[in-house]
A and B are shown apart, each in its own frame.
Chain A
Amino acid sequence: MAGERNRNKGMRLSKLYSFKCLKPFSKEDHHSQIGSRGYSRVVFCNDPDNPEALNLNYRGNYVSTTKYTAANFVPKSLFEQFRRVANIYFLVVAFVSFSPLAPYTAPSVLAPLLFVIGATMVKEGVEDLRRRRQDVEANNRRVLVFGKNEGTFGETKWKNLRVGDVVKVHKDEYFPADLLLLSSSYEDGVCYVETMNLDGETNLKLKHALEITSESDYDQEEFRGGVIKCEDPNEHLYSFVGTLHYKGQQYPLSPQQILLRDSKLRNTDYIYGVVVFTGHDTKVMQNATDPPSKRSKIERKMDKIVYVLFSILIVIAFTGSVFFGIITRRDVTDDGKKLRRWYVRPDVTSVFYDPHRAVLASFFHFLTALMLYGYLIPISLYVSIEVVKVLQSVFINQDQEMYHEETDRPARARTSNLNEELGQVDTILSDKTGTLTCNSMEFVKCSIGGTAYGRGMTEVEVALRKQKGVMTPQEEIKESSTKSVKGFNFWDERIVNGRWIDQPNAELIQKFFRVLAICHTAIPDVDGETGEISYEAESPDEAAFVIASRELGFEFFARSQSNISLHEIDHVTGEKVDRVYELLHVLEFSSSRKRMSVIVRNPENRLLLLSKGADSVMFERLAKHGRQFERETKEHIKRYAEAGLRTLVITYREVDEEEYRIWEEEFLNAKTLVTEDRDALIDAAADKIEKDLILLGSTAVEDKLQKGVPDCIEKLSQAGVKIWVLTGDKTETAINIGYACSLLREGMKKILITLDSPDIETLEKQGDKDAVAKASFQSIKKQLREGMSQTAAAAATNDPANENVQMFGLVIDGKSLTFALDKKLEKEFLELTSRCSSVICCRSSPKQKALVTRLVKSGTGRTTLAIGDGANDVGMLQEADIGVGISGAEGMQAVMASDFAIAQFRFLERLLLVHGHWCYRRIAMMICYFFYKNLAFGFTLFWYEAYASFSGKPAYNDWYMSCYNVFFTSLPVIALGVFDQDVSARLCLKYPLLYQEGVQNILFSWERILGWMSNGIISSMIVFFLTIHTLDSQAFRKDGQVADYSVLGVTMYSSVVWTVNCQMAISINYFTWIQHCFIWGSIGFWYLFLVVYGSLPPTFSTTAFQVFVETSAPSPICWLTLVLVTFSALLPYFTYRAFQIKFRPMYHDIIVEQRRTERPESGTRTTSIVSGELPVQVEFTLHHLKANLSRRDSWN
């Protein structure tokens, strides 16, 4: 135990340690960190019983992901429950109900509370049980571990693994813990790993063991004496810092040697590994933190309403106690001799009714009243909402029209918290690649040595031509492409089918494609039977390159740790030869470097650096003599970008041995470092050799737009949703994609904010960074101002009633964005963007994406939705109010961080306009109705108190009341929340402006909430006063009997049940058999309850004994009262609604009406005649909606 505590302490301090200022900076002594805080782990390989190892007392490999254990389930889940204010209130009430203060019996208070809490706890329990079952399954998986059987490998369960064990894992098995790879079935110690469960990426990753360990077969000889010193457990999946002390030497370890738990061994027969991290210390478990939980705006507002209700509760309880105090004091005359209401014996009484201590009595009465009027607070509200949201999510998941057949992926609501938030989205921030586009790259064009190749037309070009109206339909037909290869859409008669060797620049072409065939990290997968080769690549671009080079005669077919083998066509002889390149180093791609290189030794024993990268970083690295085709290539790149293509610059250089030797030493030094700035040092080292490059040309791959994207964007912008595209692409590409997906339209005014002006470029060349920053700042400021004045001018000239409002599109690049996001310009930027209907931010980094999202969210205070598909969108998704992940090709990281996952961008339209709108409407209605029904009920109690000298006697039997929320009124509300539709899905999509009801929060405005609340109070008054006056003191039946307490209670309660359920019936818009069943069923259930409860012995049923059967059912006056009261209580709302629909219709009312009149002429709908004048009211509503919209847009 002590060891564990120490370790934890170390961990916590290690977090502090990561503040750089505290770190002792030592460049030469980089091993010093090992053994220090944060880097204190010591693993004795294959020696877990070593006393020192035992002393360390690392955690076992047992994993538990459950929230609760059997022992703490009850207290912990109860605690979770009572974190809600309302539930605490009910708990306190439940406790107090055992005291004489309670206005009703304790069981009747406890029962609904237990029901509600119990239901939630059962749900929690079932979920946890499912997790537990998975845990048990994982913990009891078997693995081969060394030492179980006297010097050989034997089976053991995963949970019994200890740090330091040597294990053997076979093909297609999962790794039981984080392992250090010792060796594999391959001679050079490589293995392939699938990390689907970690990051969702399906491509295989190559790992390789240290040379020193990779040569032995550990079935034969035992691995002994190794000690690993490494970092403490942390959550960074892609980093590992450590050293292996083995045979008197130290070997640096990198993530390349680490096999993570929950990833799978593929394409490799077996591996040996040492357990480094077990159980909860493994990286995947350290990562398993819950994503930030988001709450919807409606729910936050609901909390406020609950507080309003609490205040009402306190006010009426206080009023009641004041009156009670006054009346109680008067029970004894001032001289103290005579008793007024002698029948309650004020002379012999407890403190609760003591006239002499009336203040105290009224204080206690206040507590009683708090309980009595507790029905104002809907106990089942939270539970009902939760149930409703889960069911709504089920409907979202089930929706056939958001199901993508090709990938077999339905839409998935990963959290049910945010359903209604989907109906209020104001701004969508979208990633481009993989979200708007398919992210399946096709090699379409290239420019080699200043000559452009490739004759295909891209979608963007087609779209642009269409918009310009010069489209000739025949152009679309593909040229005689021989066969269709995925990722390859290239046709040029000059170079396909090996004809490139006849080109004058054949040598350059050869070099160009060699670079493409060698400079990558893809892994070939040769089909054993057909001999066909497919590739596993980390990015689709790379796959496209490898495929392109294969198609053109440079077939990459094998990779080992040190070699890359190609089938090549020799350009001189034209024969096919195999060439093997010795792979010396891979300088990996990263988003900051924006390039990748390899250093190889070719068969002629010459050292080559092959490099590809973004034009922004590559051109500055060219050698003086390597700029031969710079002008033409730049020109081509610009053209490609305009056609919406992604370009990469291809370069190479020869490196002489001496330079390489010096560089390698430095590079290896950096690589073996175990400090935190290792990556920076490696980058710096790589920088040194990636220079003086010779330009070969550039590639252009097309990322096709996803199906239906333009239509979806069009619909969304009709719905008044603003769309921002945040992309890493070049400005031209982004603009053209913007046109292609109708984000920018013809006739839209484009505002371009950029820093690509000559002055700043010259300043940059001078290298004065401060001056550049200052000039940039000023330039952005100026451009923002200009944009503002343009939009303001347009707003001034445009009459808001005018239909053709000038629309603006804003395009801003990443560099400018950094300045625009500056605190000083933030506001102006935001205001400008809010006046533009679409915004494109190009060349933005993942961090900027998240920043922009935060800015929009906090700046406008409106709901933002971020949509993206890749790891670079995770920040943005988590930052936004709603994160939507595209479950496409690029891994699952975005999906894991998202709240909703859909397969295609176009499903967003349905998700927002249909499901979002419905869910918003349903939840808003549901909450309003909840408050209505509880006020309608709770206030009858209050009115009755006024007739019972505020003594605290409720008007109804205890059990009627406690069943109110749970049994007689809850199911219809749930049906409302799950099924109600104002208009059908088809109409939601047909009239996208309807979505504005959610964005402007019309259905959950304070007016509406308070309106419903007052409706509840009015209903309660009508119910109460009509009932007590009809059932006055006279006989209420022919046999002369008079109505007593029990009859009045039953009649009034029946009226309430009828009223609130019928109110539901007239306020919903959608009646299926489910609604009928629930609404009338609830009323029926009340009578059933009354009969059953009334037939119980009178000592239990008390005032309800036989009351319905014997007393009130045979009395016509009770029924007449019921009819009268119900209709009268509904009359105010119905009148309001009737007039409102007629004279101030809401948008959905108009559509409903529309639909109704449309149907008879549905056959001729297409040719329906447009009648001239717009009706006044419709125009008013429309105008109103739009005015709101434009006001928001322009003067946010």
Chain B
Amino acid sequence: MMEVDGSNTSMNRAPPPPPQSSSLRSSRSKVLYQFKQQKLPACKPVLTPTSVITVFMLMGFVFIPIGFVTLRASRDAIEIVDRYDVECIPEEYRTNKLSYITDSSISKNCTRYLKVQKHMKAPIFIYYQLDNYYQNHRRYVKSRSDQQLLHGREYSHTSACEPEESSNDGLPIVPCGLIAWSMFNDTFTFAQLKVSRNNIAWKSDREHKFGKDVYPFNFQNGSLVGGAKLDPKVPLSDQEDFIVWMRAAALLSFRKLYGRIEEDLEPGSVVVVNLFNNYNTYSFSGQKKLILSTSSWLGGRNDFLGITYIVVGASSIVISIIFILLHLKNPRPYGDNSWNKKSLSS
């Protein structure tokens, strides 16, 4: 497709002899001359049928294997998805889920049994997934104070945190803002399984964004309690749940890392999860899911990438075949001089 067109056509007129003081200078002045006269040696790509077919074919033959490899990787990741937001509501509340979730006197305890279909190798990641939840809402995303998270109560410019900036008595809230206030508060406990809840947040977040001596203060003391409470004795940089929650999701359906199961799960075994279904997603008809997933080198299970690679690869091969067929049906000799002569004679 590309061809280097160096000295041949682009320099067919010799530059005036440059001063021959030294070869370096003359070559530099030659380059300068070519530059000024717009005759720099250039590569001029030409789309000949051969190059077009080559490009499409090459693209097909590279993309399809990549597609299969990534698809394979995606399939290697084994996933157990359990939607529990409906199941965990007693039958009598099914018609009015909102009253169930907002009534704090009702126990939210719920037990789920997850059946393992295939062998899952440790570490198995535990996620919770929320759907139809706009963590990317502008008001929501802006409602935090990075300075306060890092420096604590002393930092008072927290107007972005409105209306969760300070409590009615004027005391500042640490951590302030809607994101912190609405923190997810369903809890999951796994019987007989070794579960680690550490190292679930990004290292840079723990070290640079959340203060080591910043302790929650006056948090969830308002008239309206949003989500989870934080242990006021633990510094923010150690509250990894919180750090994970504070990293806003891009889209309205997202997963957040909850912990890791540090042992393999055998096929046929059942994982028993005790959970407290506290978080209100019912008012905006969001779903809640619990996910157990292993990861391949590519990450979790998502066939989209692999399939798209295959589709794009295949379609470029199809295009090239169409091109070849049309070309054969309608061949045009390249480098035909005749048309030019005729046009000149007119």
Expressed in whole angstroms, the Cα–Cα distance for A353 and B163 within the complex equals 13
Among the stretches A425-433, A887-895, A1030-1038, the one at the interface with B is: A1030-1038
Task: Kindly identify, within residues 190 to 209 of chain B, every residue whose CB is under 8 Å from any CB belonging to chain A.
Answer: 202-204, 208-209
Q: Report the interface size class on chain A.
A: 35 or more
Among the stretches A81-89, A276-284, A521-529, A980-988, the one at the interface with B is: A980-988
Contact of B345 among A803, A1034, A1117 (CB under 8 A): A803
Would you mind naming 10 contact pairs between A and B with Cβ atoms under 8 Å apart? A338-B98, A344-B139, A993-B343, A1032-B251, A1035-B295, A1040-B125, A1069-B44, A1137-B47, A1141-B52, A1156-B46
> Could you say which residues of chain A place their CB within 8 Å of the CB of B162?
350
In the complex, B95 has a CB within 8 A of chain A: no
In the complex, B280 has a CB within 8 A of chain A: yes
**CB nearest neighbor in B for A353:** B139
Q: Report the interface size class on chain B.
A: 35 or more
Residue pair B202, A342 in contact (C-beta under 8 Å): no
Residue pair A1070, B283 in contact (C-beta under 8 Å): no
Contact of B332 among A955, A1098, A1178 (CB under 8 A): A1178
Expressed in whole angstroms, the Cα–Cα distance for A835 and B39 within the complex equals 39
Residue pair B204, A1105 in contact (C-beta under 8 Å): yes
Residue pair A1074, B40 in contact (C-beta under 8 Å): yes
> Could you say which residues of chain B place their CB within 8 Å of the CB of A948?
134, 136-138, 252
In the complex, A644 has a CB within 8 A of chain B: no
Among the stretches B86-94, B105-113, B229-237, B242-250, the one at the interface with A is: B242-250
Task: Kindly identify, within residues 4 to 40 of chain B, every residue whose CB is under 8 Å from any CB belonging to chain A.
Answer: 8-10, 12, 16, 36-40
Residue pair A1154, B335 in contact (C-beta under 8 Å): yes
Contact of B37 among A399, A804, A1143 (CB under 8 A): A399
Contact digits for A1003-1046, partner B, Cβ 8 Å, 1 yes 0 no: 00000000000000000000000101111111111111111111
In the complex, B158 has a CB within 8 A of chain A: no
> Could you say which residues of chain A place their CB within 8 Å of the CB of B188?
none
Expressed in whole angstroms, the Cα–Cα distance for A993 and B339 within the complex equals 12
Residue pair B44, A1176 in contact (C-beta under 8 Å): no
Among the stretches A6-14, A231-239, A497-505, A1119-1127, the one at the interface with B is: A1119-1127
Among the stretches A148-156, A289-297, A700-708, A1166-1174, the one at the interface with B is: A1166-1174
Residue pair A1044, B250 in contact (C-beta under 8 Å): yes
For residue B157, give the distance in angstroms from its CB to the closest CB of chain A: 11
Contact digits for B131-145, partner A, Cβ 8 Å, 1 yes 0 no: 001111111110000
Expressed in whole angstroms, the Cα–Cα distance for A952 and B341 within the complex equals 61
**CB nearest neighbor in B for A1048:** B250
In the complex, B271 has a CB within 8 A of chain A: no
Residue pair B335, A1177 in contact (C-beta under 8 Å): no
Expressed in whole angstroms, the Cα–Cα distance for A1069 and B253 within the complex equals 44
**CB nearest neighbor in B for A718:** B344
In the complex, A139 has a CB within 8 A of chain B: no
For residue B119, give the distance in angstroms from its CB to the closest CB of chain A: 18
For residue A1133, give the distance in angstroms from its CB to the closest CB of chain B: 12
Most chain A CB atoms below 10 A, which of B77, B164, B298, B316: B298
> Could you say which residues of chain B place their CB within 8 Å of the CB of A1069?
44-45
Expressed in whole angstroms, the Cα–Cα distance for A816 and B93 within the complex equals 100
Residue pair A1048, B297 in contact (C-beta under 8 Å): no
> Could you say which residues of chain B place their CB within 8 Å of the CB of A1048?
250-251
Which residues of A line the B interface, CB within 8 A? 103, 338-345, 348-350, 352-353, 395, 398-401, 718, 803-805, 918, 947-949, 951-953, 955, 979, 981, 984-986, 991, 993, 1026, 1028-1049, 1066, 1069-1074, 1097-1099, 1102, 1105-1106, 1110-1111, 1115-1117, 1120-1121, 1124, 1127-1128, 1131, 1134-1135, 1137-1139, 1141-1143, 1150, 1152-1159, 1162, 1168, 1170-1179, 1182, 1186
**CB nearest neighbor in A for B52:** A1138
**CB nearest neighbor in A for B49:** A1142
Expressed in whole angstroms, the Cα–Cα distance for A1049 and B251 within the complex equals 11
**CB nearest neighbor in B for A1175:** B332
In the complex, B186 has a CB within 8 A of chain A: no
In the complex, B166 has a CB within 8 A of chain A: no
Residue pair B125, A1150 in contact (C-beta under 8 Å): no
> Could you say which residues of chain B place their CB within 8 Å of the CB of A1127?
59, 63, 312
Which residues of B line the A interface, CB within 8 A? 2-3, 8-10, 12, 16, 36-49, 52, 55-56, 59, 63, 66, 70, 77, 79, 98, 123, 125, 127, 129, 133-141, 146-147, 150, 162-164, 178, 181-182, 202-204, 208-209, 226-227, 247-257, 260, 280, 283-284, 293, 295-302, 304-305, 308-309, 312, 315-316, 319, 323, 326-327, 330, 332-346
> Could you say which residues of chain B place their CB within 8 Å of the CB of A341?
134, 137, 283-284
Residue pair B341, A1170 in contact (C-beta under 8 Å): yes
Contact of B70 among A342, A350, A1120, A1174 (CB under 8 A): A1120
> Could you say which residues of chain A place their CB within 8 Å of the CB of B37?
398-401
Expressed in whole angstroms, the Cα–Cα distance for A1040 and B98 within the complex equals 33
Expressed in whole angstroms, the Cα–Cα distance for A151 and B300 within the complex equals 102
Known interface pairs A339-B283, A953-B141, A1026-B308. Does A1142 touch B299 (Cβ–Cβ under 8 Å)? no
Expressed in whole angstroms, the Cα–Cα distance for A1182 and B298 within the complex equals 53
Known interface pairs A1026-B308, A1038-B297, A1176-B332. Does A1152 touch B46 (Cβ–Cβ under 8 Å)? yes
Residue pair A1174, B42 in contact (C-beta under 8 Å): no
For residue A888, give the distance in angstroms from its CB to the closest CB of chain B: 24
> Could you say which residues of chain A place their CB within 8 Å of the CB of B315?
1131
Most chain B CB atoms below 10 A, which of A350, A952, A1037, A1135: A1135
For residue A719, give the distance in angstroms from its CB to the closest CB of chain B: 11
Residue pair A1124, B45 in contact (C-beta under 8 Å): no
Expressed in whole angstroms, the Cα–Cα distance for A955 and B253 within the complex equals 15
**CB nearest neighbor in A for B125:** A1040
For residue B69, give the distance in angstroms from its CB to the closest CB of chain A: 9
Residue pair A803, B342 in contact (C-beta under 8 Å): yes
> Could you say which residues of chain A place their CB within 8 Å of the CB of B139?
344, 349, 352-353, 951
Expressed in whole angstroms, the Cα–Cα distance for A1170 and B330 within the complex equals 20
> Could you say which residues of chain B place their CB within 8 Å of the CB of A1139?
323, 326
Expressed in whole angstroms, the Cα–Cα distance for A342 and B326 within the complex equals 60
Besides the known contacts A342-B182, A947-B251, A1045-B141, 15 further A-B residue pairs in the complex with CB atoms under 8 A apart: A340-B284, A343-B140, A951-B134, A979-B38, A1030-B302, A1032-B253, A1040-B293, A1040-B295, A1044-B249, A1098-B208, A1120-B70, A1131-B316, A1142-B327, A1154-B335, A1182-B342
Residue pair A951, B136 in contact (C-beta under 8 Å): yes
Known interface pairs A984-B9, A1034-B301, A1045-B141. Does A947 touch B47 (Cβ–Cβ under 8 Å)? no
